[in-house]
Amino acid sequence: MSSSDNLNFRGKYKQYDADGKPYLYRIGDVVEHRGKKFVSVKATSNAVPGTVSGDSYWQKLAAGGGGFYIQETPPDAAVEGDRWYRPDVSVMFTLINQENNLIWVEL
Structure confidence by residue, pLDDT tens digits, 34-70: 877 888 989 999 899 988 888 889 988 755 456 788 8
Query: Could you tell me if 81 and 62 are in contact, meaning their C-beta atoms sit under 8 angstroms apart?
Result: no
pTM exceeds 0.75, yes or no: no
State which residues form the domain around 90: 3-106
Total count of domains within the chain: 1
Nearest-angstrom CA–CA distance, 48 and 78? 28
